[in-house]
Structure 1
Amino acid sequence: MEKRKSIYMQRWLSFHFYSTPLQSDYYYLKLCNEIYNMLRDDDFPDEEISISDEQKKNLACFVTGYFEDVISGPGLWKAFITQVSELYGTYLPFFDPDPEEYFPDEINPEDIHFLLWYYLSMVLSDDSIISPLIYEWSDYSNRIFEILEREYETAPENFNLKQLFNVSPEENNFFMIKEKLKWIMLDSWLHHFLGKELEEITDDTFIDDEEKPMPEESRAIYLYDTMDTFVLSRHTPLLARQGKEWLAYALGKDHPLYESLLEMGEKKSGFYLYIGTKGDDLLFEHIATGTRLKVTSRSMDVPTGNEPGRSISFAGFVKWRGEWWFSGSQLGWGYDNDLIRKEQESEKSKMLFGKNPAVQREENRQLYRSFLKFNKGKPLAFIESEEAANSFIRDFLAYHNRSLKKSVRKQRKDRMPLEQDMLPDSIFKEMEPDLVQVETIPGVVFCDPDSGIDLAFGYNDMIPDARNQWYMSTNTEDDPGDGTMILLESPHINGKLMHYLVSNYDLPGLEFPGLSGRELLLDNFDFMLRFWKRKRYYS
């Protein structure tokens, strides 16, 4: 008789923020193995979808983690359905459960339908687009739900998990908050896929490290700072939200820290000149902009050997509840005139602290109004090459500046920051090398009233517009419908542009596999846009 494979405690605890099991963990591990054995014995309903035994083990932990979360909550699942309800007026995408029959504080069969789709979409993201309805016609999720429903009334709470979201209303320690964000973003049952993503990022960074290996200390510093920035800045596939938003919604709107979490600033990493101390604060000046930060001494000590006005640090700082906190790693240099000059000339470094958001919004809207006039009422222009894009943008900026009635002297003195982003040196260095090297690839220039101007190359054959001479209609040998979904998955098409394309064109092939696939995708388009374009949804 074949020996049954099992999930062991180490794997189960890898989805938690502690390493010593509680009594409740033995209960949930047993439940996890029951679900795994059911998954192991059955094939998935679509023969094209196949996951490994390791992935089935993680799926069992994932589903059991959901159950533990609901029993011990409110936690991440309640945070998810609350945000979905705010955005879309329903508790779940795709399934639109009847509010009279859906219980947000309990387990629901629709939850399992959704979670199976989410899990498979994440682990098979490089191979397949999964229809959310694949499990609606099978008894697969129902069998999982029956196991959980059987246990619902007697399942124990996880007191460590409850304590995680029991945060003092007066909590001012950013490091304590960051530890919670780290678990949410890297190891939690709902977002643990991001932990794998971070591993891939760091592995790719050191893939050529064998020839010129980085010193161990430098490597450790880099890895820690990369992790720190990832935790604070990355957006999740679900809803394109950051860790601070997930923690805020897990605590609930009535919690005093709810607004503080949503207002937490972005990490500002750059080169700073150490100025000295003032009371309990350390003073740093951002070299490129002259912005001075008062950094609380609760987050760092004066670096050894630092001299006021003479020592340079590359470091990151986050504003939390009105105070700047050091976050991540720090590298130090002595006074270096060349480094200072390069930073002060760097347009990218100058934008670290940005403009006042209200001022930037108004400038973008002025830009948008000018663009519509310049481009015959359309926010989208089709261009034949990189060179044509440069020419188009230069002509447009000249028109825009004239429309603002700026003098040449004023333009030179108060040059628009956006103009920097539109010149070839800055635009094309951020694009994929293969797109930059082929100057004849046609593209589009798009202007949005909120985010400004963006460019995309290589997708004109998929956009059915009378002005677009490169569109490849369906009566040709190659059906553009076969590739239209590439628009959704491409990192070069931002969220604003994708919204415009779907709202203004009938894009063939824009659908999930199976019956009613197009209607299902379009009805849940914003959710899927956040899912596929989380890194560029807002820009």
Structure 2
Amino acid sequence: MKRRSSTRSQGLTITDWMKYRPYKIPSAYDSYYLKLANSALAYLDRPETGFKGIFRREHLKELAVLLTCHFEDFICEIGLWRALVRKHQELYGKYLPLFDLEEYDPNYLNPQDFAYLIWHHLGKMAQKTLMPQGRPLLAAADHFYDFFETRIDEAPATDFYDRWLDISPDIYFFDLKLRLNWMAFNNYITGPEFSQGFQEAVDKLDDEENELLRQLQNRESLIYGMQDDFLLKKSSSWCALTAPDWLAEVARCPDELRPDIRRLFQRVQGIFLYEGHDKKYYRFQFVRSGRLFPVHRESVDLDVAKMKAGVDAASFAIVNWRGEWWLSGVYMGWDGSPKDLDKLRIDPKGVNFYGWTEEQKQQIYSLTAEMEEAFLSYFGERLVFFKNEKEMARAMEAHNAWWNENKTKQLKPGEKRSRYAEMLAEESASYDDIDLGGGSVAAYYSPGEGVLMSSLIPRVVKLLQKKKLKEEEYPELFYSFFHEFSPVLAHYIAERYPLENLRFPLGGDADFVRENFDFFLRYYNPGDFREALPLLSLLPEE
């Protein structure tokens, strides 16, 4: 006798619910919310609601849990959604993007909140574009609002989160990291996105030949270290906030502590040379910059009796927490030769900005400002188009030669003379045609950072300027623009070219995109919402 498939009857288990808990042992409290989550899943499973068959069941199961977590967030006043709404108000001047907020109450449950949570989660996890005003989505939002709103009086609350999020100035660093781990992987807002992103990073590590993995020959340790990228640096599609940003928003702590939490993203990672120790700290020299860091000995237990100063080296990352450097991630011994260390000292990729000394940072800032002035003085614009890569290489070479000859001269602030335009005019070339995006490659000087060279920019500008796009060119333009352009570049182009062709893929006019311009940038390309850091690197002095 053939057994009937039990897919329809497979509901959520306590394991599904506990995935987003910062504790391990369930109680009657968790059983109550699990029951609500299963009711939410039952709605999503109904064919007439428009979700089943379009989205994978695992995504719908997780969505049911997240919707219930949102209700729990409201009941227990955890503060995650309120932090999100507060950030929306700060960034966009409204509580939520995309939706009509005429009857929105920021201190209560709202259909728009459920609609936005559904839109955002399914869009990211299923990698599908959803129309915010689609009938199934809005009907589901109304259903879940009614369903949860009628259960407000009966729903149990807990003070666990008040205790869990109580961050004192003297909190132990690794207790703080436990909170960051929940913020990254296990809270209902960023958890699905970061968990999926981390798994994709691990899969990529296995699929590709990884040089660091080859050198260290320790896959598990490398993966453990990769988690710190998500705990400390990774920006989420939710307002481009990092896990430290989220913790700073919801922590029960003195306000003066919040900037310290946010600055945890300033991690220094690379090869360090052991230089000795005292009772409290190890002394490590960051090889690429020569800077000496005192690293708290509670970070890692090293057998210093067997270590030789100036000889033993290791790969790890350190984070500054309230004036002290802590090893964060994994410590892996490095067996490179003295010759390998010499190579690292001149490797432009061997350092991040926070590994330099303050004096070195100021030197890099000054050099970057000098190069930016040179670019603007020579080309006359921050964005320049070229017919091909050969022309660009020739122009950049001429630019460098010109600046080296004239860098001692004092240029007037804001001078708009373009030596490049003069050069093209002398050669009877059409600078105007190139400036309008007629070329195949472009150079853009990102403020405070450096030169970005791109073949995508001319393509996007061409599509923006076309009188009429083909049907398939609308999504190409939209995704190229919001996926690939940094916020400063996107705004620079938006100020100079028409945006009428920039349309949301599933419909709507250009005004809809204009109204949600900054939201789309953060949603599709959150990683570029970061501190502007120079791309320059210093060479060691002889």
TM-score range, shorter chain: 0.7 to 0.9
Give the residue type in structure 1 aligned to 2:513: L
2 CA distance for matches of 1:7 and 1:61?
8
8 Å CA contact 2:274, 2:312 repeated in 1: yes
Moved more, 366-375 or 26-35: 366-375
Once the 2 structures are TM-superposed, how far is the Cα of residue 261 of structure 1 from its aligned partner?
0.8
- 1:78-477 → structure 2 map (5 Å cutoff): 78-95=82-99, 97-98=101-102, 101-125=103-127, 128-135=128-135, 138-167=138-167, 169-192=168-191, 193-207=193-207, 218-251=218-251, 254-303=254-303, 305-333=306-334, 336-352=337-353, 353-354=355-356, 364-376=368-380, 378-405=381-408, 442-464=440-462, 473-474=466-467
SS of 2:522's equivalent? helix
2 CA distance for matches of 1:43 and 1:366?
63
CA RMSD in angstroms comes to: 3.1
Give the residue type in structure 1 aligned to 2:58: E
Tell me if 1:56 matches 2:60. yes
8 Å CA contact 1:229, 1:328 repeated in 2: no
Once the 2 structures are TM-superposed, how far is the Cα of residue 508 of structure 1 from its aligned partner?
5.1
Once the 2 structures are TM-superposed, how far is the Cα of residue 299 of structure 1 from its aligned partner?
1.4
8 Å CA contact 1:109, 1:145 repeated in 2: yes
1 CA distance for matches of 2:95 and 2:363?
36
SS of 2:290's equivalent? coil
Pair 1:83–1:362, CA change in 2 (3 A): farther
SS of 1:349's equivalent? coil
SS of 1:348's equivalent? coil
2:511 counterpart residue number: 519
Pair 1:494–1:397, CA change in 2 (3 A): farther
Pair 1:214–1:284, CA change in 2 (3 A): closer
1:415 counterpart residue number: none
Pair 1:200–1:486, CA change in 2 (3 A): same
Give the residue type in structure 2 aligned to 1:220: E
SS of 1:285's equivalent? strand
Cα deviation code 1:172-192 (max 9, x no counterpart): 422111111111111221112
Cα deviation code 1:360-399 (max 9, x no counterpart): 55654554443333223x2211123333333333333333
SS of 2:452's equivalent? strand
1 CA distance for matches of 2:472 and 2:54?
28
Pair 1:292–1:183, CA change in 2 (3 A): same
1 CA distance for matches of 2:238 and 2:166?
24
2 CA distance for matches of 1:139 and 1:72?
26
2:31 counterpart residue number: 26
> Unpaired runs of 5+ in structure 2?
411-438, 533-542
1:8 counterpart residue number: 13
Among candidates 459, 473, 485, match of residue 478 of structure 2: 485
Tell me if 1:534 matches 2:537. no
Moved more, 133-142 or 63-72: 133-142
Once the 2 structures are TM-superposed, how far is the Cα of residue 487 of structure 1 from its aligned partner?
1.8
Once the 2 structures are TM-superposed, how far is the Cα of residue 62 of structure 1 from its aligned partner?
1.0
8 Å CA contact 2:76, 2:158 repeated in 1: yes
SS of 2:245's equivalent? helix
User: Would you say how many aligned residue pairs link Structure 1 and Structure 2?
Assistant: 491
8 Å CA contact 2:482, 2:520 repeated in 1: no
8 Å CA contact 2:465, 2:497 repeated in 1: no
Cα deviation code 1:452-473 (max 9, x no counterpart): 32121244233149xxxxx984
Once the 2 structures are TM-superposed, how far is the Cα of residue 258 of structure 1 from its aligned partner?
1.3
1:17 counterpart residue number: 22
SS of 1:276's equivalent? strand
SS of 2:442's equivalent? strand
Cα deviation code 1:87-140 (max 9, x no counterpart): 222221223635xx5433332222112111111211232xx3323222598422
Among candidates 501, 518, 539, match of residue 493 of structure 2: 501
Give the residue type in structure 2 aligned to 1:6: G
More helix by share: 2
8 Å CA contact 2:441, 2:455 repeated in 1: yes
Cα deviation code 1:276-307 (max 9, x no counterpart): 11331110001111100011112122346322
Once the 2 structures are TM-superposed, how far is the Cα of residue 443 of structure 1 from its aligned partner?
1.6
SS of 1:447's equivalent? strand
2 CA distance for matches of 1:475 and 1:229?
43
8 Å CA contact 2:114, 2:141 repeated in 1: yes
Pair 1:231–1:152, CA change in 2 (3 A): same
Pair 1:487–1:507, CA change in 2 (3 A): farther
Moved more, 57-66 or 224-233: 224-233
Once the 2 structures are TM-superposed, how far is the Cα of residue 446 of structure 1 from its aligned partner?
0.7
8 Å CA contact 1:488, 1:532 repeated in 2: no
1 CA distance for matches of 2:100 and 2:379?
40
Identity between Structure 1 and Structure 2 (%) = 22
8 Å CA contact 2:166, 2:253 repeated in 1: no
Once the 2 structures are TM-superposed, how far is the Cα of residue 507 of structure 1 from its aligned partner?
4.0
Cα deviation code 1:57-112 (max 9, x no counterpart): 111001111111122223321221121122222221223635xx543333222211
Cα deviation code 1:265-285 (max 9, x no counterpart): 522111111011133111000
1 CA distance for matches of 2:216 and 2:372?
49
1 CA distance for matches of 2:470 and 2:502?
19
2:434 counterpart residue number: none
The TM-score, its normalising length taken from structure 1, stands at: 0.82
SS of 1:238's equivalent? coil
Pair 1:400–1:182, CA change in 2 (3 A): farther
2 CA distance for matches of 1:476 and 1:112?
35
2 CA distance for matches of 1:442 and 1:280?
57
1 CA distance for matches of 2:117 and 2:471?
36
1 CA distance for matches of 2:176 and 2:15?
25
SS of 2:325's equivalent? strand
Give the residue type in structure 1 aligned to 2:43: M
> Unpaired runs of 5+ in structure 1?
408-440, 466-470
